[in-house]
Structure 1
Amino acid sequence: MAGEKEIKEIYDNGMKILEELTSNAYEIQEQMLEEILIRNAGTEYLSRFFVHGQNHKQNFKANVPIVTYEDIKPYIDRIANGETSSILFADPITQFIQSTGTSEGKPKLIPMTAESFEKRMVKPLLVDLVMKKCISGLDQGKSFYLFFVKPEMETPSGLMASLYTTSYFKTQIFKNGLAKFCTSPIDTILCLDNKQSMYCQLLTGLLLRDEVVRIGSSFASVLARSIKFLEDYWKELCSNIRTGFLSDWIADPACRNAMSSILTRPEPELADLIQQICEDKSWEGIIKEVWPEVKCISSIVTGSMSQYIPLLEFYGGGIPLVSPNCGSSEACFGINLEPLSKPFDVSYTILPNMAYFEFLPVNNDGGGKSREFKLRGASATESSESTNETTTVNKPVDLANVKIGRYYEVVVTTLAGLYRYRVGDVLKVTGFYNKSPQFQFVERQNVVLSIDLDKTTEVDLSKAITKAKLVLEPLGIMLTTYSSYADTSLTPGRYVLFWELKMKGSNDLPKLDAKIMEECCGIVEESFDFTYKSLRKGGVISALELRVVKHGTFDELMDFYVSKGASISQYKPPSCLKSEEAVKILNLGMVGTFFSPKTMF
């Protein structure tokens, strides 16, 4: 594993490293593909696609199929059950990385070698370097990051499976690097009880409030949840600060030991100050009030996380929102080289040494809608010749040949044995930094609402709701989070939206005016495409339903997914629900239901 010497080298030469990577992006990509194929050509999986003596690199795209997780799951399951790693890759597998499972309803197991895992750990160091270069003062204080872990799972083979963040927080590169600049003691981060961990990390952040220059979390949803936790527990936190004693219910020995070196004496003046701030009925600008030296809020706010931007701007009081990087459980894609760009303008720069990247073109209609590719289990060449295909299949392009303004689905080939693997993320190319593409994250592929022939994507839904909530803003009503599902239990079926609303000045539930809420429903439907409107007019789809839920209901939804194996650190609120249990949770919090006018089309 990388140690202090390597960490120092990255910090000393980080910008030079970034310039070299991005200036030689194509050459690095070609070298990476060659290295992967030379190393792994003899594996059971790859050897099926090449004849003896064939140039593997030259014939890679013609012979090796583009696949999804379901295509390679049987190979991964065999390794997890005890068969040799050489089924997929030459190097031994050291662990599996679990996806969160909230996007598609079930977690995946992503194989990882020691080398591939170590390579990924360079990314947060580069991100930190870029942020300190672009935002003055970050190197003169501490970062109040809210990090959490989940228990590891042992597979029948003896290999451990865990979330990437859990594995990363246990490494020496984290403990010797970024952890030294964080307010939270490492034992509070590694505490498996998320509630105790959250409480202790918040308490430490309050005790060190004057030293905090950066606040954040992996995802915006986690930071929003943390503010809600502060709302619920600030009185108890102030009591601990005032008396100098930690609450008895914090029972984790490591947490108590870690806090004993921070909560060392009564601080009544600090407790009074925090109490005075938190007692204000309106929490607008609360982050700036509690942590006056904060220079930025760092958290991923693109994709499905964009729904939290208004909430974090409200709580932040003008503090810049920084979305630092973009990636998936399978691979790191890129980092934000302009951290002070506006949240909706964020572009990430591809790091060409993280994986071999290919890009499947998708329709560039601005909605991110993918063509109906049928590439599972077949090569791109075979698929384009399929007689069942009704649309022209665009072949994937490499990093050097993407076009600005076009939309692509990412395909990765990794050191750890994923070959031409469809990640499912749709990106829009916005430019180049040197020779490396820059992109905006658009959506997760296949996250759609559908009743019949309609296909409403995550982006379609986000745009429609963004328009509708403009009706609420003049009334002082905030939409804090949302989700949806396609209700086909009745005929005809309908789209159902769940909204959690609050007043800007408090957490009180707004008075719900039926006409205004129905207007919101109508605006959402008007924003959908021609297919939806035609089916709606023809009676194939019924009127959209909007269900308003009480404050805290979406926290219960997060608790549900965490109980099923998701990590609070990596929780992504599903834009479109696939779980009946999740729908029941939101229905239990319902305080009002509204419909679009039945004859609006």
Structure 2
Amino acid sequence: MANPLMNLAFQAFAQRSTARLIQHVQQIEQAQETFLRSLLQSHQDTEFGREHKLSEIKTIDQFRLRLPIRPYSAFAPYIQRMAHGEANVLVPDPLIYFNISSGSTGQKKFIPVTARSRRFLSRSSRTAIGFAIKAALRDQRPLGKILFPMSVNPHGQTASGISYAPVSTSDMYLMDGLSRNLLFVHPPEAYQIADTTARYYICLMFALRDPNLRVILATFPILALQMCRQLEEHADSLIQDIEVGQIADWIKLEPQLRERLERKWSAAPRRAAQLRQIYQSYGRLTPQTAWSGLSLMVTARAGTSNFYFEQFPEYFGDLPIFGGIYACSEGNLGVHYDFNTDNAIPAIESTLIEFVPEDQWETDCPKTLMAWELEVGRRYRIVLTNYSGFYRYDLGDVVEIEGFFEQAPLMRFLHRRGGVISASTEKTTEAHVLATMQQLQKIFQVTLGNFCITLPKKDLPAYYLVNIELSPADRLADPEKFLQQFEVIMQSVQKFYAIKRRDQIAPPRLRILPSGSFEILRQRMIQRGISAAQIKFPHVTEDRQWLDGLSIEQEVRLE
């Protein structure tokens, strides 16, 4: 059967979803009122619904007046009971799964998943696909098979036997088998491989055999870069396996799984010869050389993503990057509408979204605005209500409004609340340090493998520790000048840092870490139970033990 992304009926279906969203954002107030009334009606007889008399609420204003904004901790006792098998607590429908948050920015959270909640989330997913198809047709970029080396293995089960895993894993696990077979270039067995290196290898092996791969999908940009490095590291072995029709003995596979994969694997000597010639000509394999007909990459945009995108041209050339869904474990928040844009349209068909303006962030009972009441250039914190059982949940995501699409604001994700550092009271965000480090890379013509700004454990006044790991091929010729420029740029992009530096914050220090340092941090996070597919390195942290145990090649101080 044909790949559904190339199927005209599927394209028409997805584009109808896109057209429906466009129609709804032209009447966004009515659309959000309708969504809320439908949700409250279906949830009014749950325990939470009876406690809060949801049946009496008819409008968004009444909803905001009756229910307070709550953190996850307010929902946790309900969810814990659901995990132990209690029904009709936050949602009326049977649970089929729990999504879990990554835990990289705090304690793990369990998010209920029902068949109904998935149906609503799928609306925004189809809409995003429709926008991607529209952009691909416009740019004459053919669509086809997808490379996505994701696991479908649950991380565990609750006391009542409900499986749980990160949302990307659960989406793959709950996807019907036919779609998996049709959409992806590798067989379904590849998703069952527990070992990350082995799974990447097998997915790359099947993908390399197909010269017409069109789409690469990665949850986060850093995972796309990790895949590229796996491709470089194992190029010889991959080409050999394609040539002879075997799977390398060193790949860690369960015997039964290996046997099933080998039955679906066969030699492709002509393709192997083509890949070997590319490898010899360029001295490496990269996605842009291995698949000359790639049409697009789908991965998270905005936030910390743009830092990693600076490394993409080396591997992907000028391949368009589509943001897909602006989402988190708790739900879908936005829909990207074009290639190479960080802005997203609110996912008003999946979520009721409220926005807390900056002047309300520190108040006990913050007032919210609705999507049609926002101002361009302002920053807001997101509050969501959806079919997963969250009612006015303070997610903590901070977005900036950069324009409007019809009556809907175009949101750009900046950072999760808590992604802030203060040596005094300046509140430097990830957006500030990302802008600074991007300028530094351009000025000094170096590529940073990664970085993180931390604070000293005891020294007062405190100062910024600028911890960087250079890409293996790069060297920083003048570290002291680099640190001086960090100071200049940081003060220009963060006015409160500039003010506090006068007499409350000591001069920053630069620490150059050995190659592989952030890989050590990644392994630590995995050992703490964070899924490899969900790891997000903080670029600022007030955890003063975050880098404990790492070596320091060089430390530089300002005079």
Q: Are 1:76 and 2:79 counterparts?
A: yes
Identify which of 191, 198, 201 aligns with 1:199: 201
Q: Are 1:501 and 2:474 counterparts?
A: no
2:101 alignment partner in structure 1: 99
For 2:497, give the aligned amino acid.
Answer: Y
Contact 1:23 1:435 in 2 (8 A): yes
Identify which of 548, 561, 585 aligns with 2:512: 548
Identify which of 425, 430, 441 aligns with 2:413: 441
2:214 alignment partner in structure 1: 213
How far the C-alpha of 1:87 sits from its partner, in A, is 3.3
**Secondary structure, counterpart of 1:326 in structure 2:** strand
Contact 1:451 1:488 in 2 (8 A): no
2:555 alignment partner in structure 1: 593
Aligned equivalents of 2:132 and 2:180: distance in 1?
13
Change (3 A) 1:29 1:514: closer
How far the C-alpha of 1:189 sits from its partner, in A, is 2.0
How far the C-alpha of 1:313 sits from its partner, in A, is 2.1
How far the C-alpha of 1:229 sits from its partner, in A, is 1.6
Aligned equivalents of 2:395 and 2:476: distance in 1?
43
Change (3 A) 1:179 1:263: closer
Contact 1:185 1:258 in 2 (8 A): no
Aligned equivalents of 1:52 and 1:18: distance in 2?
27
1:67 alignment partner in structure 2: 70
Contact 2:150 2:169 in 1 (8 A): no
Change (3 A) 1:518 1:452: closer
Change (3 A) 1:254 1:461: farther
1:142 alignment partner in structure 2: 145
**Secondary structure, counterpart of 2:22 in structure 1:** helix
1:316 alignment partner in structure 2: 316
TM-score computed with the length of structure 2 as normaliser? 0.89
Contact 1:21 1:351 in 2 (8 A): no
1:570 alignment partner in structure 2: 534
How far the C-alpha of 1:258 sits from its partner, in A, is 5.1
Q: Are 1:354 and 2:350 counterparts?
A: yes
Aligned equivalents of 1:508 and 1:576: distance in 2?
25
1:459 alignment partner in structure 2: 431
Q: Deviations over 1:17-69 (max 9, x none)?
A: 33333334322211121122223334443444459967676522112000111
1:390 alignment partner in structure 2: none
Aligned equivalents of 2:60 and 2:478: distance in 1?
63
TM-score computed with the length of structure 1 as normaliser? 0.83
Change (3 A) 1:236 1:14: same
Pairwise CA RMSD: 3.0
How far the C-alpha of 1:419 sits from its partner, in A, is 0.6
Identify which of 502, 515, 537 aligns with 2:502: 537
**Secondary structure, counterpart of 1:249 in structure 2:** coil
Identify which of 169, 172, 175 aligns with 2:172: 169
Identify which of 468, 472, 478 aligns with 2:444: 472
Change (3 A) 1:27 1:176: farther
For 2:131, give the aligned amino acid.
Answer: V
Change (3 A) 1:144 1:258: farther
Contact 1:469 1:520 in 2 (8 A): no
Q: Deviations over 1:378-422 (max 9, x none)?
A: xxxxx3xxxxxxxxx5x2112222233322211111122111011
How far the C-alpha of 1:373 sits from its partner, in A, is 2.4
- Percent sequence identity over matched residues? 21
Aligned equivalents of 2:338 and 2:58: distance in 1?
40
Aligned equivalents of 1:580 and 1:279: distance in 2?
46
Of structures 1 and 2, the one scoring higher in RCO (CA 8 A, sep 6+) is 1
How far the C-alpha of 1:273 sits from its partner, in A, is 4.1
How far the C-alpha of 1:247 sits from its partner, in A, is 0.8
The residue correspondences of 1:114-193 to structure 2 (distance < 5 A) are 114-136=115-137, 139=142, 141-173=144-176, 175-177=177-179, 179-193=181-195
**Secondary structure, counterpart of 1:91 in structure 2:** coil
2:44 alignment partner in structure 1: 41
Structure 2: gaps spanning 5 or more residues: none
Change (3 A) 1:272 1:516: farther
1:368 alignment partner in structure 2: none
**Secondary structure, counterpart of 1:349 in structure 2:** strand
Aligned equivalents of 1:511 and 1:9: distance in 2?
52
Q: Are 1:560 and 2:524 counterparts?
A: yes
For 2:130, give the aligned amino acid.
Answer: L
For 2:192, give the aligned amino acid.
Answer: L
Change (3 A) 1:260 1:111: same
Q: Are 1:427 and 2:399 counterparts?
A: yes
Aligned equivalents of 1:584 and 1:326: distance in 2?
33
Contact 1:305 1:572 in 2 (8 A): no
1:229 alignment partner in structure 2: 230
- Relative to structure 2, which stretch is displaced further, 66-75 or 136-145? 136-145
Contact 1:143 1:183 in 2 (8 A): yes
Change (3 A) 1:421 1:254: farther
Aligned equivalents of 1:55 and 1:130: distance in 2?
33
1:510 alignment partner in structure 2: 475
How far the C-alpha of 1:296 sits from its partner, in A, is 1.9
1:387 alignment partner in structure 2: none
Aligned equivalents of 1:8 and 1:463: distance in 2?
38
Aligned equivalents of 1:12 and 1:48: distance in 2?
41
How far the C-alpha of 1:278 sits from its partner, in A, is 4.0
Aligned equivalents of 1:348 and 1:488: distance in 2?
39
Change (3 A) 1:295 1:140: closer
**Secondary structure, counterpart of 2:147 in structure 1:** strand
Q: Deviations over 1:184-218 (max 9, x none)?
A: 2221123222121111011112111x111222312
For 2:348, give the aligned amino acid.
Answer: P
Change (3 A) 1:524 1:184: farther
**Secondary structure, counterpart of 1:227 in structure 2:** helix
1:450 alignment partner in structure 2: 422
1:307 alignment partner in structure 2: 307
2:241 alignment partner in structure 1: 240
The residue correspondences of 1:471-490 to structure 2 (distance < 5 A) are 471-473=443-445, 477-490=446-459
Change (3 A) 1:28 1:253: farther
Aligned equivalents of 1:516 and 1:281: distance in 2?
34
